[in-house]
Structure 1
Amino acid sequence: MSIPLIGRPLGRHRRLTSAEVAALHRQKDAATIAAIRYATEATELQQQLDEAGITISGLLEDLRVEREEGSRLKAALANATSVSVGCGVRDIWPGEEPTHPHGLDVTTLRARFNGNTSPSHVPGL
């Protein structure tokens, strides 16, 4: 009884032809060129991203300054247009009719209730 030879190659290994080797070299060169091109493009894109970040940072600072200025102007406008007279006194514009000649004089009501604001004087309460 004989033991079969395991792992014995059945065919011969052939060498690559010079044309196949040249084709592989061309593929390697093309891949190297593509890698260099992609690396260059990635560097350019990184520079653009850095510049955009700087621009955005500057715009955010401008926005913060403008908001502060807007808040300051809003406060100045509120102070300039604030009402500084009592609620019973107001200016009458030219051509405007005052309200009390039309039967809305409340001085008798004020005298009657003498400043009492409790709900006891309101009917039905």
Structure 2
Amino acid sequence: MQNLLKQRTKRFALDIIELVEFLPKVLSAKIISYQLVKSATSVGANYRAVCRARSDNEFISKMQIVLEEVDESGYWLELIQEKAWADVTKLLQEANELTAIFVSSLKTIKNKSNPKPTNKPQI
């Protein structure tokens, strides 16, 4: 699963880089393009750091950064969509799918790290 997500996050970044080459050359699009490339490439780079986490706490900390970056990427993509500069439906879908995967991973590791107490009597 890790290798698949490494590939998906890299593909996401590459697709974003390709997208911004075709956006209008007006100032607002340039600024949004810059921010989008920064956040989208950060998703993959930070996910690689997640894969090297040495503890659950480090995993959680780094995964939260990945989530922030993929969410930010989604925001910039929404602006591009609403400005009708490009059809970014597939990229938005990928951002949403990656977000769901990373949220699920975070929930799993948090539940593992903080098991809920049972109401069983102790003997």
**What range describes the TM-score normalised by the shorter chain of this pair?**
under 0.3
Ranked by relative contact order (alpha carbons within 8 Å, sequence separation 6 or more), the top structure is 2
Instruction: Compute the TM-score of the two structures, normalised by the length of structure 1.
Output: 0.25
Instruction: Compute the TM-score of the two structures, normalised by the length of structure 2.
Output: 0.26
Higher Rg of the two aligned structures: 1
